[in-house]
Structure 1
Amino acid sequence: MSFPKTYYIETFGCQMNEYDSQLVETILGADGMIPASDKESSDCLLLNTCSVREHAEQRVFSLLSQHKALKNNNPAMKIVLLGCMASKHQDELLHRFPHLDLVVGPDGYRNLPALMKAEKNIRTTWLGNNPLEEYNDIIPAHTKISAYIAIARGCDNFCSYCVVPYVRGGERSRPADSIIEEMKQLASQGIREITLLGQNVNSYRYNDCDFAGLLRRANEVDDIIRIRFITSHPKDLSEDLLNAMAECEKAAPHLHLPFQAGSDRILRLMNRKYTRSEYLELVDKVRRFIPGISLTTDIIAGFPTETEDNFQQTLEIIRRVRFDDAFTYRYSPRPGTAAAEMPDDVPEEVKIDRLERMISAVRKIARQNLQDLISRKFTVLIEHKSKKDPDWWMGRTEHNRIAVIPKEKYKPGELVEMRVETIAGFTLKGAIEIEAKPIFIY
């Protein structure tokens, strides 16, 4: 029997899924498989899925239906569904899509090679046999300048709208030594920027090492020049972590701090465990500790029973905090969550209208914030050629803003100082400071 030799991965959802896809690539590569140039020519097509939003699931369902034609053209192809939808829907997916071969949950990826080599007529769901799986011994290979590292998996917060605790399990933190070793290995591969990932990085704890301690240890890793992290829960953002961010020169002055809604009543229904005033006080504290920090957030429009007055309170927070960006969502009930038992009583057209007003408010402020940066200097980590102009480099500033600069003699992986001259959309455009020395790190 011929076993799969090539694979193609389609990834949906958050940064954790992007990291998991890299993890899967490493597992398959260790078994001798290589990536295909396109899904049509692959021996195995894998879809790494997301269940957080209804729209994300519907997109995958649509693609699975379309992929039936691929299977008809190549009956030997294996189609595998990975990720949160695997945990949520399990065998239901095999019944709904007869051309789907395997359904594998986030804790079952170690077994992918064996499952893919099984007899073709064996269709199965595998969620893993270790609910505490952390993949500590598997370090994804990278070819870029930046990389993700998962420091924790799962979540214990049970926000009423969120399916993550149900599909990824309870929170478990990786050993700090394992994380630091992965950072060192990535640095040896040419990685210069690390983003530490978790559903709630602030609650990281392994033995006596909390997240502030981990950040301080990460700051000591040679050849890593910038450290980011995502996502933070406001209730767990400690003063010690703010001190660590201020102390660690490699910690980027950027914080993603979801507030989700501006009404205390809605926040209680969401089970967020903080109030509007507590969030605003926290923002003020963050800015005292780290002046000039860039703040981004998540916001939901149209949560059950949300009134126009509740929504206006959300807009007030947007205007007061003046976020640099936001991930904005229209509420959709996720089966199995507490919010799914609440009346979904905000009409769809009202949800859409509120979402559009929310996006407009965020973008207006974001543009104003960018205009204030003209003539100011920032450090840019060069990542790759600009897609719009190959004579310019694209990179990101310490505040996670996209920037383009002339190519000149520099190359990806170098840190240079730029002065902002113009704003194009939401991109900074400027010149490298003549008197500034590039920070060579090779």
Structure 2
Amino acid sequence: MDQRSVRDILAGKTYFIRTFGCQMNQHDSERVSGLLDSYGCLMALDPAHADIVVFMTCCVREAADTRLYGQCNSCKSLPPSPSGKRVVAVGGCIAQRDGEGLLTNVDNVNVIFGTHSIAHVAELIAEAFLDGKRHIRTNEHEDTDAMSMPWHRETQYHAWVPIMTGCNNFCTYCIVPYVRGREKSRPFEEIVDEVTGLVRQGVREITLLGQNVNSYGRDLFGKPRFADLLRAVGDTGVERIFFTSSHPKDLLPETIDAMAETPAVMPQLHLAVQSGSTRILKEMNRRYTREDYLGLVDRIRNRMPDIALSTDIIVGFPGETEEDFEQTLSLAETVRYAQAYTFIYSKRAGTPAAEIDDPTPHEVILERFNRLVKVIETTAHEYNQGELHTVVPALIEGTSKKNDAVLLGKSPKNQTVHAPIPEGYSIDQLVGKIVDVDVDVAKTWYLSGSVVGEPR
């Protein structure tokens, strides 16, 4: 179908996008939104007022599948759409993995598009409106440069900037390489030019995205060039740089140096460990040991003593013993994370770990998980005490969910910061601004205080 026909069908229709999963999925949603905008569609605030409902999915955990099925089925009870006809579309990792098989669990989906088919979303949706049939596209490789698609940012002050897609690591528990494909880096200059343009548009903070940013450039240059990229992006004038995800085995000394020496790179690093047991790490195919990881943490803190480290940890990987878990617990106590995402292992069909039988009772795994959570809560609380009676610059994102008179912002260490809206200002004047907050309360998951000085 040609672009003019697509526009004729879609112009004026409303759409709603719900996103599950990681930051890459969030950026994919922004690209789908930008594409629909370019064909004259209008964003709706909820699915009840949308002609087009899009679910961008993640398949890392089993709960994501169940949640998607519930969300799709709930569309059956929505009131008629503004145009009288509604198209339900499912994209992202579950769509790539299951394709037409997704219809086994949800029978009201009109469009299914995989991770490599985002550029064709508008065409697929238009065809569904035109003929009422189901349209499915789950290519194994991108045949269009999705990175060049228009995109609709959720905020004017922050932007997701993908630097690569795919993953070559094949951790035994992870489905990502099978649904996102192999590592493919964007051209160096293209990324720098994009960030330069974003800075001109008023973007203050960016997050560089990739399944493993530390291996950026290996496919283009024969060796990783993430350190060079960090320095070049830092030279664009952007004020804050975050990045994710970062695989420990590929975090090179030159990258640590670039982080320490580039002022715009924020003092925060997400460094997923997954387990503190060398035996389990080998079973996971992580390709580093407990000792390797702890040595890496030491090198990072030698260069950036106050850095906020966060991580991912899986409890209950098949075959994990009490001794293995105790190794994870002691590693968490040693590293003293500022934040951690803790998960109970979720079997993913198609991954090697899914073939491993594990007799460990669920109650035992849950008890271990709860012990780990207590350790993380303790280390996070202790880390935040270091901000007490200091002034923290917070980039304001909005207001607290509990109190719309209280600001919600993020510190350079990605901590949540609260403060009452200062007298004489409205929230609309402060979103996207940086305010200095004199911290007088430091809790486990947030800091709070009062605004000092003028917003900037």
TM-score interval w.r.t. the shorter chain? Answer: over 0.9
SS in 1 for 2:381: helix
SS in 1 for 2:146: coil
CA distance in 1, matches of 2:73, 2:361: 29
What is the match of residue 346 of structure 1? 360
What is the match of residue 94 of structure 1? 103
CA distance in 2, matches of 1:430, 1:72: 47
What is the match of residue 196 of structure 2? 184
What is the match of residue 320 of structure 1? 334
SS in 1 for 2:367: helix
CA distance in 2, matches of 1:6, 1:79: 12
Cα-to-partner distance string for 1:117-141 (whole Å, 9 max, x where unaligned)? 1133321210247437552322523
Q: Please tell me the residue identity of whatever aligns with 1:135.
A: A
What is the match of residue 63 of structure 2? 55
Q: Aligned match of 2:42 in 21, 34, 42?
A: 34
User: How much does 1:192 deviate?
Assistant: 0.8
SS in 1 for 2:131: coil
Q: Aligned match of 1:292 in 306, 324, 335?
A: 306
Verify the 8 A CA contact 1:91 1:124 in the aligned structure 2.
Answer: no
Whether 1:13 and 2:21 are equivalent positions in the alignment is yes
Verify the 8 A CA contact 1:255 1:294 in the aligned structure 2.
Answer: yes
Verify the 8 A CA contact 1:157 1:165 in the aligned structure 2.
Answer: yes
Whether 1:417 and 2:436 are equivalent positions in the alignment is yes
Q: Aligned match of 1:175 in 187, 204, 221?
A: 187
What 5-or-longer segments of structure 2 have no aligned partner? none
Aligned length: 436
CA distance in 1, matches of 2:49, 2:431: 31
CA distance in 2, matches of 1:235, 1:287: 17
User: How much does 1:27 deviate?
Assistant: 0.8
Change over 3 Å in CA distance of 1:129–1:371 after alignment to 2: closer
Alignment of 1:308-387 (within 5 A): 308-387=322-401
User: How much does 1:187 deviate?
Assistant: 2.4
Verify the 8 A CA contact 1:109 1:128 in the aligned structure 2.
Answer: no
Structure 2 length-normalised TM: 0.90
Cα-to-partner distance string for 1:27-75 (whole Å, 9 max, x where unaligned)? 1111111112220121111111110001111111222233233388897
What is the match of residue 131 of structure 2? 120
What is the match of residue 141 of structure 1? 152
What is the match of residue 229 of structure 2? 214
Greater Cα offset, 15-24 or 368-377: 368-377
User: How much does 1:154 deviate?
Assistant: 0.8
Whether 1:67 and 2:75 are equivalent positions in the alignment is yes
SS in 2 for 1:162: coil
Cα-to-partner distance string for 1:144-182 (whole Å, 9 max, x where unaligned)? 422211111111000000000001111101112222222
CA distance in 2, matches of 1:306, 1:129: 34
What is the match of residue 241 of structure 1? 255
CA distance in 1, matches of 2:316, 2:432: 42
User: How much does 1:433 deviate?
Assistant: 4.2
CA distance in 1, matches of 2:391, 2:102: 52
User: How much does 1:422 deviate?
Assistant: 1.1
Greater Cα offset, 159-168 or 393-402: 393-402
CA distance in 1, matches of 2:30, 2:183: 21
CA distance in 2, matches of 1:69, 1:419: 49
Whether 1:160 and 2:172 are equivalent positions in the alignment is yes
Identity of aligned residues (%): 38
